[in-house]
Amino acid sequence: MGFNRLFLNSNGLNTEKGAKQIRETLYDYYEIDLPRLKVYIVSLPEYEIDDIILKNCITILDMKEENIRFSKRSYPDEEFDPDIVYVTEGNTFEVLKYMKELGIFKYIKKLARDKSKDLIYIGSSAGAMIAGDDIMLAKDFDSNTVGLYDYTSLGLFEGAVVPHYTEEQLKLYIESTEKHILERYYTIYSVSNDEMLEL
């Protein structure tokens, strides 16, 4: 099964709005028992948002601190068996390069292949884009300041997602994007700042 549920949004767990969106979707609507689940959180240390994310996980999502692990500089030890993988917002190229250089990318791909697990992936903004086939479309929104050349991403679904865009904005974006770029994707989704997308 691997990641049998994908939830994508534009607001991260480092914001009250993003944390409330995640709670309302997973906990309130789908009745997923967040307090008993373990979450592995991918966030860049230099963003200095781990403390805010931790606070929101505890106070808004009702999660237990002992069930929360941050990526810091590696993937978690084998004793920590996550139910949820969360990938944060930020510069999409920076986040993906960080994940690839530290083995986090391979770790999440390994989890995705594990048919014995029933996992949830939550991606916010950059994390939403990284869930798709590649991050080619991120060139229109972020600067590749880290010199990333391999845009291949997790491939947890076929296609790509454009965060922070409404359906109408996505339509205009598609109309102004070269056809050969669009043909790379089975489908392109949008997820506005006020919603969560489940795939």
Is residue 192 part of the annotated active site? The answer reads no
* Catalytic residue of the set 71, 125, 190, 192: 125
Is residue 43 part of the annotated active site? The answer reads no
Cα–Cα distances in angstroms (integers) from residue 42 to residues 54, 57, 181, 187, in the given order? 12, 14, 28, 26
Residues assigned a catalytic role? 125, 164
